Amino acid sequence: MADISVNNKRIAKNTLMLYIRMFVMMGVNLYTSRIILQALGVDDFGLYNIVGGVVALFTFINSAMVSSTQRFLNYELGRNNLEEAQKVFSTSLNIHIAIAFLFILLAETVGLWFLNSYINIPGGRELAANWVYQFSVITAAIGIVQASYNALIIAHERMSFYAYVSILEVILKLIVAYLVYLFADRLISYSILLSVTALVVFIGYYFFCRKCFSIYRYCFEYNRSRYCTIAGFSGWSLFGAIANMGANQGLNILLNVFFGVAINAAMGFANQVNAAIYHFVSNFQTAFNPQIVKSYAAGEREYFTNLILGTSKYSFFLLFLLALPVFVCCPEILRIWLGQVPDYTIQFCRWMIVFSLIDALQGPLWVSVQATGRIRNYQLLMSFFILLNLPIAYIALKFFELPELVLIVRVFLNVITSIVRIVYIRRLYAFPVSRYMKEVLLIATIVALLSFPIPYIVYHSIPTWYGLLSSIFLALACTIIIIYIVGLKPREKEYFNKVIHKIIQMV
């Protein structure tokens, strides 16, 4: 395996490319959402979110396959076994194509029945909802086949292309947002144009992989042992994917059943705000995840452990840095962004941010379990706790009928699941729990508690533009200062000082 310093430089370069991607995507996505809301209206926007959610119920199969493909590719690359990596890619592509056909079958039978039988669709929009559903199925099927190429690019840490294509995709979606004004039924035209966008992106991935990774040219080969290994790993990953999809889309459907599509619009905006913020963490972790699996495959246990602890801590820092000003100033930020803020959007956004902060600490732990390849018992255990969201949220809504209860329940169960995860991983591969508690959880808690009060007090004391800007500045300043003082080790502070010094010299 390459020298650790070389790996760290590659991680830094990939992280930079992913952050460039994130900033462009975040800005364009937020602006696109405003345009689409104005074009579709609250009811049609909520309808698109809930109908797309029904399709997403079936794509949990794909998410399990993506993580499995990445894991096996990274593992073979960590062992420098390119021949086996090529066979893994071909096998995974065969499985993804089969899953795409299975997905279409399920979507056109069970999914279509569920849409027309249980989803609360406004009167007169039944035909539009079914057209949106069909094109959402097409978009999802394209994504399923594309996933193998996505996994190949990430496994080889070619984040620059990944960033460029993602930027192209959001720009195309912005163009789509303006094009819908040309059509009579904007909701249907929006779903059609998104399918075309997905096809364009898939073609870009396909030709890039053919050009840059010639060794991975597709070849059909049936190796029963390899199929069983990958499919078995994917099968157990499926439990986690089902649980997470149930927590996301299942709760969205519960809100629709109890409160209608207007609440789905609020949840849709909350999910977009949270996704925009969480890109900070997902990009950071995407850059590190291949190295975590490769270091385990190469037997570099100390480097493996340090990557997990470091990624967990810095994932929280990066997310909290952006999440704090959004959490504190959420009402005013949403008003500026949307103009008309749907009811409960503020509460949903804040609870989603809390959930994601907890989740940010746990992502590298899950990747470490993937690296070992022993995921059966882990997935069964985690899936049980995550799926408890649905019955508990249903009971809570039956008794109290408060929409935000679904996310309060989700945050509570995420805390419980995190505790169970740490205990399980300790038994799986002697995970250093005491180091994790001291170097990650304790530090993250102190940073959060010390950073929060000042911007919160200023925001509620000065209800003007000056108060908003002051609160955002203080949130960022307090977080950076406290992270530097409390969150960094002496060696990390020294590295940070060198980076700042170089930046000053360049300026």
Kindly state the percentage of the chain with pLDDT values over 70.
Answer: 90
User: Do both 318 and 463 map to the same domain?
Assistant: no
Question: Residue 199 in contact with residue 216, Cβ under 8 Å?
Answer: no
Integer Cα distance of 125 and 260 in angstroms: 14
Single out the residue in 451, 472, 492 at which a domain terminates: 451
- Domain-located, residue 393: yes
Least confident piece of the model among 97-111, 208-222, 309-323, 351-365: 208-222
Whole-number Å distance between alpha carbons of 312 and 67: 19
Lowest mean pLDDT among 71-80, 180-189, 201-210, 323-332: 71-80
Looking at the structure, tell me whether residues 369 and 436 fall in a common domain: yes
Mean pLDDT of 147-166: 80
| Domain identity same for 293 and 371 | yes
Let me know whether 319 and 177 are in one domain.
Answer: yes
Whole-angstrom Cα distance, residue 85 to residue 73?
5
Tokens of 41: 């209206």
Task: Give 449-452's long-range contacts (Cβ < 8 A, gap of 24+).
Answer: 450/478, 450/482, 450/486, 451/320, 451/324, 451/475, 451/478, 451/479, 451/482, 452/324, 452/328
Same domain, yes or no: 385 and 358: yes
Q: Supply the pLDDT for residue 62.
A: 60
Of 286 and 181, more confident:
181
Sign of CA dihedral 339, 342, 344, 347: negative
**What pLDDT sits at residue 481?**
93
Q: Do 326 and 276 form a contact (C-beta atoms < 8 A)?
A: no
What integer pLDDT is reported at residue 59 of this predicted model? 54
Higher-pLDDT residue of 219, 388: 388
For the chain, percent of residues with pLDDT exceeding 90 = 13
Residues 368 and 492 in one domain: no
Shared domain for 458 and 350, answered yes or no, is: no
Confidence at 437, pLDDT banded by 50, 70, 90:
very high
The residue behind tokens 């996994």 is 151
State the pLDDT at residue 2. Answer: 47
With 90 as the cut, is the pLDDT of residue 429 above it? no
Pick from 267-271, 397-401, 449-453: least confident: 267-271
Confidence at residue 399, expressed as pLDDT on a 0 to 100 scale: 87
Q: Return the percent helix, strand and coil in the chain, to nearest 5.
A: 90, 0, 10
pLDDT confidence bin for 1, thresholds 50/70/90: very low
Tracing tokens 């000065």 back to the chain, one arrives at: 462
Q: Are residues 315 and 259 in the same domain?
A: yes
Other Cβ atoms closer than 10 A to 462: 14
- Rounded to an integer, the average pLDDT of 183-194 is 86
Query: What is the chain's mean pLDDT, rounded?
Result: 82
Q: pLDDT tens across 61-100, in order?
A: 666 667 778 788 888 877 777 777 888 888 888 888 888 8
Are 462 and 436 part of one and the same domain?
no
Angle at 230 between CA 224 and CA 236, to 5 degrees: 125
pLDDT per residue as tens digits for the range 223-246: 777 888 887 787 777 777 777 777
In a domain, 507, yes or no: no
Same domain, 476 and 406: no
Q: How many CA atoms lie within 13 A of 75 on its CB side?
A: 18
pTM: 0.74
Instruction: Provide the pLDDT for residue 56.
Output: 59
Band of residue 248 on the pLDDT scale cut at 50, 70, 90: confident
Expressed as residue numbers, the domain containing 484 is 452-502
For residue 428, is it within any domain? yes
Instruction: Tell whether 286 and 149 lie within a shared domain.
Output: yes
Residues 341 and 461 in one domain: no
Q: Is the pLDDT of residue 450 over 50?
A: yes
Residue 281 banded pLDDT, cuts 50, 70, 90? confident
Q: Is the pLDDT of residue 106 over 90?
A: no
Asked if pLDDT for residue 54 goes beyond 60, the answer is: no
CA distances from 183 to 40, 43, 188, 189, 451 (A): 11, 18, 9, 7, 48
Higher pLDDT, 219 or 303: 303
Q: Which of 96, 364, 428 is nearest to 234 (CA)?
A: 96
Q: What tens digit of pLDDT does each residue of 298-323 get?
A: 888 888 888 889 888 988 998 898 88
- Give residue 4's pLDDT: 56
Q: Is residue 489 part of a domain?
A: yes
pLDDT score, position 12: 63
Is the pLDDT assigned to residue 348 strictly greater than 50? yes
**Count of domains in the chain?**
2
